[in-house]
């Protein structure tokens, strides 16, 4: 599947949002090794969020690789451009 640069940026934003969610859960729950540990529900919620982040990040990496190859660009340059574009605020419509 061929991707556009804008699609890569959206995929990266989704992965970044999923990562923020994982960090929020970690901050909220505390370390899983604390004396009282996490409840079963907390563990399930965290693991689900972590898997979503991992899967989205993997999709971004594969799409960046494919895009770079299709466009004849260096993969690391495309990745840097995507990350730079995700740091800019989305345009308001």
Within 10 Å of residue 63's Cβ, how many Cβ atoms?
20
63 inside domain: yes
Q: What is the pLDDT of residue 31?
A: 85
- Residue 12's domain comprises 5-30+38-87
93 inside domain: no
Which tens digits make up the pLDDT trace of 53-89?
999 999 999 999 999 999 999 999 999 999 999 987 6
26 inside domain: yes
92 inside domain: no
Closest by alpha carbon to 11, among 66, 67, 86?
Answer: 86
Within 10 Å of residue 71's Cβ, how many Cβ atoms?
12
Which tens digits make up the pLDDT trace of 21-57?
999 999 999 988 888 889 999 999 999 999 999 999 9
Q: How many domains does the chain have?
A: 1
């Amino acid at each position: 599947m061929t991707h556009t640069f804008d699609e890569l940026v959206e995929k990266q934003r989704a992965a970044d949002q999923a990562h923020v969610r994982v960090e929020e859960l970690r901050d909220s729950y505390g370390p899983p090794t604390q004396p009282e540990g996490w409840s079963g529900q907390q563990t399930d919620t965290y693991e689900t969020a972590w898997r979503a982040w991992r899967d989205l990040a993997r999709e971004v990496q594969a799409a960046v690789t494919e895009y770079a190859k299709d466009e004849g660009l260096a993969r690391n340059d495309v990745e840097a451009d995507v990350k730079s574009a995700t740091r800019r605020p989305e345009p308001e419509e």
